[in-house]
Amino acid sequence: METLISILVGLLFSIGTYLVLSKSLIRIILGTSIISHGVNLLILTMGGLKKGGPPLLGDIQTAFTDPLPQALILTAIVINFAVTALFLVLSYRTYKVTGTDDMDRLRGNMDE
Amino acid sequence: MVFLLLFMIFLPFIFAILTPFLYKLFAPRVHTGWFVAIVPLSVFVLLLQYIPVISNGQTIYQSVPWIPSLGVNITAYLDGLSLIFGLLISGVGFLVVLYSIYYMSKEREALHNFYVYMLLFMGAMFGLVFSDNILVLYVFWELTSISSFLLIAYWYQRKNSRYGAQKSMLITIFGGLAMLSGLIMLSMMSDSYNIREILSEVHVVTESPLFLPAMILLLLGAFTKSAQFPFSIWLPDAMEAPTPISAYLHSATMVKAGIYLVARFTAVFGGSSEWFWIVSGVGLITLVYGSINAVNQKDLKALLAYSTISQLGLIMSLLGLGSASLYFGNGDESTVYAMAIIASMFHLINHSTFKGSLFMVIGIIDHETGTRDIRKLGGLMSLMPISFTLTIIGSFAMAGLPPFNGFLSKEMFFTSILTAVEQPVFGMKMFGLFVPIIAWIASVFTFIYCMILVFKTFTGKHQPEKIDKVAKEAPIGMLIPPAILAILVIGIFFFPNVVGKNFLQPALMAILPIHSEGVGLTIKAWHGWNTELFMTIGVVLFGSIMYIFLKRWTVLYHFFPKTLTLNHLYNQSLEGTEMMSYKVTNKYMTGKMRDYLVYIFGFMIVILGGALWLSDGITFLGSNQAGVSIYEGVLLGAMVISGFAVLLSKSRLTAIIALGALGYLVSLFFVIFRAPDLALTQLVVETVTSALFLLCFYHLPKLRKEVSRIQFKLTNAVISIGVGTVVTLLALAVNNHRLFASISNFFEQSYTLAGAKNIVNAILVDFRGFDTMLEILVLCIAGLGVYTLIKLQLAGRDRKE
């Protein structure tokens, strides 16, 4: 299972990287979202899969999956959400102000 | 009285602080130079007291801690060598200040700047020659470079001044930094920062593998500072400085700092063939190069600059020859070579006297006629008789004619070279014969330019229409300083042994500690009909003939291609470096996001992949794996499909929905892998994100078809596949190399420790609550950011644009 997920994560990274390298601003946002999914899956996999029940005490089970990666991912998801939201609004603004979303045309100031 | 030497070093600095106040108080009633003149005069008088002590073979050592924890102390050390330099700096310094009082107008010039820079320089020079600590020596060394830079560019409105200052700065700082590394190597080898302690560890130094690198780096510093070939190019351009500065820095003091350094470290590096050949070889090349170039100059100061270069080469080559004395240890041969050291020190003193006076006289001519161009000058003999006399004394001394001091040191130079040929060392047998010939040719050229200096300026036809001012004799105050130097020039000729006993012998003891007894030395003006005298007669005869036919053969200079000069080379390489870095930077700093991302991803692939490959980290089969059920298989397949859907979709709606699908599948994945809180959060966040995307939908830019070349897409594809592969390999490697057990067992006590049954929540708000707080902060900031971005837009900046 871990091997399969590792390959899936690699695939998500590939797709994300390809999108990030493209010229269109919205594709780049899509790319970062996909990469963050890949990262979350990676963290979860690294903690080990199917080692026990959900990390809730009081269950009959005695073995639990590792709760620490889950806590880390939870933090990551929220932060990623915040960043994506800001990025989205920023790109919306950029598009409004400059009238383009082509990264090649969004190049610095003339006096640089 | 204990720390008198240290006081001497810091006196100029203290005065440099006071000078602007004095200027504010007294300008323009009293010339600021009068106050400044106190400094070198008092140092000179103080140093004079040490002469009897030093000539008895004693030395003086004073030290105050500066950075004791690093072993860096400000240590002043006075022996014969530093005494000569100290007296030259203070003596010539006093005369130059006196001269500058008449030269620099107190109404027109910014005198406070001038004298502050000059005092800084003077203090730095004292520090340089008195320090025993090599790091302190380096500090003062750089301070001379900086103050010289400031002085050259004193008239900063002129383009040439700035060019000359920049050039000298670049070259001397380059050498200074090389010297610093040489000094550090030296301290590594001998485990000390003090020159005297290094000298006691010489045997360690000579056996060390760092010996040669340290020597070359140190010599780079000395050669750049003393304008040796090929670093001499800054000196002629430094002539843009006011003439008192040229006289002081670029003839008598700063350019001799390199000589001082070589002399100071002869006891460490001397006796090896490398030192012998590098120092004397470079010196001889510089001697010839400078003298040949000087003949072709049309500007009197440029002529003097090249003559300085040539004379410095002479002194340097003598130091190189003399270092062979250490090779012989004690004995007759050793004494013979030690004469070369004496000759070099003697010529050093003589050069400071006559070159200083010549610069001052040229300054007078410039001041009184308004030009320094040889072609415009002429026939000044009857108009400026005193200047004419002074020029004759200086020039004939420089040419090496009796009855002036230059004759004595020139004869000693020939003697040293001839003995070096007679008693060959370090393979001198092969090249030995060339050395006297080179020296002789250089002397002929020296003779020629000295004659040009005197006769083209003062004899011939006076051309009042070509010069701006009416030529007349200078005020008496301006003539006194060069006159004093001229008296010294003649005085040393008649009483050379006073100098020999009081200065040259102690200096020899300082440079070559093996001659602690000194060598029996009497300098005689008349030494019989020997080879040296015939050489001098030959120089005079041949030089006179060549001077008479000057016009015939100087055309040869025009044949020398301009593109091969060192200046051209310097300018080209400076421009070339600028162009190169400009081009290279423009090449990779394209300003395109995509290119930078390619670099980042590329490095990630190379570094991470390379590290994995090199450390044999690539593994594929993990033993401790969970099995795959049908649900998970289907889920994985669905995730791959939605991922590709985002990648390949043509419309943004499809892409957004595919991304949402991917998010929901991830939350499903969390469900399967027993992470209920994650699944919940992921569901909510994905919903909100999708909603956000859809909210912005109409405002978002359209997904255009990527119009770009195949090659471009191919690179992107290669990079992305590379990134994916590296991440996969990394994940596999981590999975199969689990080194330690997890610490998560601790968190299973969440109920007893935190009173929570949900372990993940306990971690978030209790065990690691700090993270959560900052995460909330991140959300707040993002919210504020979004709000501001939208509000600012409404505030109307868009409408303006």
Confidence of residue B751 (pLDDT cuts 50, 70, 90): confident
| B378/B459 Cα distance (integer angstroms) | 6
Domain boundaries, chain B: 4-548, 554-589, 591-760, 768-801
Q: Which of A91-95, A96-100, B97-101, B680-684 has the lowest mean pLDDT?
A: A96-100
| B657/B663 Cα distance (integer angstroms) | 10
Name every residue whose Cβ is closer than 8 Å to that of residue B695 and which is 6 or more positions away in sequence: none
| DSSP designation for B201 | T
Tokens of B308: 């300085």
- Using a CB–CB cutoff of 8 Å, tell me whether A111 touches chain B: no
Give me the mean pLDDT over the B406-428 stretch: 77
| DSSP designation for B513 | G
pLDDT of residue B790: 81
- As a whole-number percent, the residues of chain B with pLDDT over 90 amount to 22
pLDDT of residue B219: 92
Q: Is residue B429 over pLDDT 70?
A: no
Strand B60-67 and strand B72-78: pairing?
antiparallel
Q: Which residues pair with B310 in a beta bridge?
A: none
What sign does the dihedral A37-A38-A42-A45 (CA atoms) show?
positive
Give B-chain residues touching A13 at CB under 8 angstroms: 720, 723-724, 727-728
Q: In degrees rounded to 5, what are phi and psi of residue B674? A: 60, 50
Across the interface, of A17, A80, A100, the residue whose CB is closest to B720 is A17
- Using a CB–CB cutoff of 8 Å, tell me whether A56 touches chain B: yes
Is there a contact between B744 and A95 if contact means CB atoms under 8 Å apart?
no
Q: Is residue B111 over pLDDT 80?
A: yes
Q: Is residue B709 over pLDDT 60?
A: no
Is there a contact between B720 and A88 if contact means CB atoms under 8 Å apart?
no
Q: Is residue B723 over pLDDT 90?
A: yes
The CA-based diameter of chain A, rounded to the nearest angstrom, is 68
Q: Are B381 and B451 in contact (CB under 8 A)?
A: no
Of the candidates B258, B437, B426, the one whose C-alpha atom is nearest the C-alpha of residue B337 is: B426
pLDDT of residue B176: 93
Q: Are B76 and B5 in contact (CB under 8 A)?
A: yes
pLDDT of residue B599: 93
Interface test with B, best of A17, A80, A93, A105 (most B CBs within 10 A): A17
| DSSP designation for B563 | G
Tokens of A58: 């009081």
Give me the mean pLDDT over the B144-168 stretch: 91
| B446/B226 Cα distance (integer angstroms) | 19
Most confident of A40-44, B322-326, B696-700: A40-44
Tokens of A97: 């102000």
Confidence of residue B685 (pLDDT cuts 50, 70, 90): very high
Across the interface, of B662, B763, B798, the residue whose CB is closest to A37 is B662
What does R_g of chain A's alpha carbons equal in angstroms?
Answer: 19
Q: Which of B274-288, B321-335, B471-485, B518-532 has the lowest mean pLDDT?
A: B518-532
CB atoms within 10 A of CB B197: 14
Across the interface, of A30, A86, A103, the residue whose CB is closest to B785 is A86
3-state helix, strand, coil in chain B (%, to 5): 75, 5, 20
| B301/B353 Cα distance (integer angstroms) | 17
Give B-chain residues touching A107 at CB under 8 angstroms: 591-592
Is there a contact between A24 and B751 if contact means CB atoms under 8 Å apart?
no
Give A-chain residues touching B632 at CB under 8 angstroms: 1, 4
Place of tokens 């990287």: A17
pLDDT of residue B662: 93
Kindly state the helix (H) or strand (E) to which residue B73 belongs, with its residue range: strand B72-78
Place of tokens 């330019």: B449
Q: Which of B17-21, B470-474, B586-590 has the lowest mean pLDDT?
A: B470-474
Name every residue whose Cβ is closer than 8 Å to that of residue B480 and which is 6 or more positions away in sequence: B98
Give me the mean pLDDT over the A43-70 stretch: 79
Name every residue whose Cβ is closer than 8 Å to that of residue B192 and which is 6 or more positions away in sequence: B71, B198, B201
pLDDT of residue A40: 93
Distance of CA B495 to the CA centre of its chain: 41
**Residue B389 class from Cβ within 10 Å (0-12 exposed, 13-18 middle, 19+ buried)?**
middle
Q: How do residues B598-618 score in pLDDT, each as one tens digit?
A: 999 999 999 999 998 888 777
Tell me how close the Cα of B687 comes to any Cα of chain A, in angstroms: 11
Give me the mean pLDDT over the B328-339 stretch: 74
| DSSP designation for B249 | I
Is there a contact between B674 and A79 if contact means CB atoms under 8 Å apart?
no
Give me the mean pLDDT over the B750-758 stretch: 85
pLDDT of residue B428: 62
Across the interface, of A24, A33, A107, the residue whose CB is closest to B704 is A24
Q: Are B321 and B340 in contact (CB under 8 A)?
A: yes
DSSP string, B92-135: HHHHHHHHHHHHS-TTTS-HHHHHHHHHHHHHHHHHHHHB-BHH
Tell me how close the Cα of B64 comes to any Cα of chain A, in angstroms: 51
Across the interface, of A30, A54, A103, the residue whose CB is closest to B655 is A30
| A44/B688 Cα distance (integer angstroms) | 23
Across the interface, of B639, B652, B751, the residue whose CB is closest to A8 is B639
Total residues belonging to chain A: 112
DSSP string, B133-185: BHHHHHHHHHHHHHHHHHHHTSSTTSHHHHHHHHHHHHHHHHHHHHHHHHHHH
Q: How do residues B235-259 score in pLDDT, each as one tens digit?
A: 888 888 888 898 888 877 888 999 9
pLDDT of residue A112: 42
- As a whole-number percent, the residues of chain B with pLDDT over 70 amount to 92
Q: How do residues B763-798 score in pLDDT, each as one tens digit?
A: 999 898 999 999 999 999 999 998 888 887 554 554
Give me the mean pLDDT over the B268-273 stretch: 83
Give me the mean pLDDT over the B167-185 stretch: 92
Q: How do residues B553-584 score in pLDDT, each as one tens digit?
A: 777 777 777 667 788 888 889 999 999 999 99
CATH of domain A1-50+65-103: 1.10.287.3510
Q: How far apart are the first and last CA of chain A?
A: 51
- Using a CB–CB cutoff of 8 Å, tell me whether A62 touches chain B: no
pLDDT of residue A10: 93
Give B-chain residues touching A10 at CB under 8 angstroms: 724-725, 727-728, 731
Tell me how close the Cα of B698 comes to any Cα of chain A, in angstroms: 10
- Using a CB–CB cutoff of 8 Å, tell me whether A105 touches chain B: no
Name the pTM for this structure: 0.82
For residues B586 and A60, the model is more confident at B586
Tell me how close the Cα of B463 comes to any Cα of chain A, in angstroms: 55
Is there a contact between B734 and A46 if contact means CB atoms under 8 Å apart?
yes
pLDDT of residue B464: 73
Tokens of B671: 């469900």
Degrees to nearest 5, angle at CA B725 with B722 and B728: 150
Degrees to nearest 5, angle at CA B523 with B520 and B528: 110
Give the per-residue SS3 of B205-269. HHHCCCHHHHHHHHHHHHHHHCCCCCHHHHHHHHHHCCHHHHHHHHHHCHHHHHHHHHHHHHHHH
What sign does the dihedral B451-B454-B457-B461 (CA atoms) show?
negative
pLDDT of residue A4: 87
Q: Are B342 and B412 in contact (CB under 8 A)?
A: yes
Q: Are B479 and B368 in contact (CB under 8 A)?
A: no
- Using a CB–CB cutoff of 8 Å, tell me whether A61 touches chain B: no
Q: Is residue B3 over pLDDT 80?
A: no
Name every residue whose Cβ is closer than 8 Å to that of residue B641 and which is 6 or more positions away in sequence: none
Q: Is residue B173 over pLDDT 90?
A: yes
What sign does the dihedral B523-B525-B526-B528 (CA atoms) show?
positive
A54: helix, coil or strand? Answer: coil
pLDDT of residue A11: 94
Q: Is residue B1 over pLDDT 50?
A: no
Q: Which residues pair with B62 in a beta bridge?
A: B76
Tell me how close the Cα of B668 comes to any Cα of chain A, in angstroms: 12
Chains A and B form CB pairs within 8 A to the count of 270
Of the candidates B237, B240, B478, the one whose C-alpha atom is nearest the C-alpha of residue B367 is: B478
Total residues belonging to chain B: 801
Give B-chain residues touching A93 at CB under 8 angstroms: 789-790, 793
Q: Is residue B138 over pLDDT 90?
A: yes
Q: Are B318 and B340 in contact (CB under 8 A)?
A: yes
Q: Which of A58-67, A80-89, B159-168, B368-377 has the lowest mean pLDDT?
A: A58-67
Give me the mean pLDDT over the B335-352 stretch: 85
* Domain B591-760 part of CATH 1.20.120: yes
For residues B499 and B92, the model is more confident at B92
Q: Are B660 and B682 in contact (CB under 8 A)?
A: no
Q: In degrees rounded to 5, what are phi and psi of residue B493? A: -65, -40
**Residue B627 class from Cβ within 10 Å (0-12 exposed, 13-18 middle, 19+ buried)?**
exposed
CB atoms within 10 A of CB B758: 20
Is there a contact between B735 and A84 if contact means CB atoms under 8 Å apart?
no
Q: Is residue A50 over pLDDT 50?
A: yes
Is there a contact between B646 and A7 if contact means CB atoms under 8 Å apart?
no
Across the interface, of B591, B639, B720, the residue whose CB is closest to A21 is B720
Q: Which residues pair with B758 in a beta bridge?
A: A56
Domain boundaries, chain A: 1-50+65-103
B620: helix, coil or strand? Answer: coil
B67: helix, coil or strand? Answer: strand
Q: How do residues B188-244 score in pLDDT, each as one tens digit?
A: 888 888 888 888 888 888 888 888 899 999 999 999 999 898 888 888 888 888 888
pLDDT of residue B707: 54
Is there a contact between B700 and A92 if contact means CB atoms under 8 Å apart?
yes
For residues B254 and B432, the model is more confident at B254
Across the interface, of A8, A56, A83, the residue whose CB is closest to B758 is A56
Q: Are B726 and B605 in contact (CB under 8 A)?
A: yes
Is there a contact between B640 and A46 if contact means CB atoms under 8 Å apart?
no
Q: In degrees rounded to 5, what are phi and psi of residue B76? A: -105, 140
Across chain B, mean pLDDT equals 84
- Using a CB–CB cutoff of 8 Å, tell me whether A36 touches chain B: no
Is there a contact between B700 and A75 if contact means CB atoms under 8 Å apart?
no
Kindly state the helix (H) or strand (E) to which residue B72 belongs, with its residue range: strand B72-78
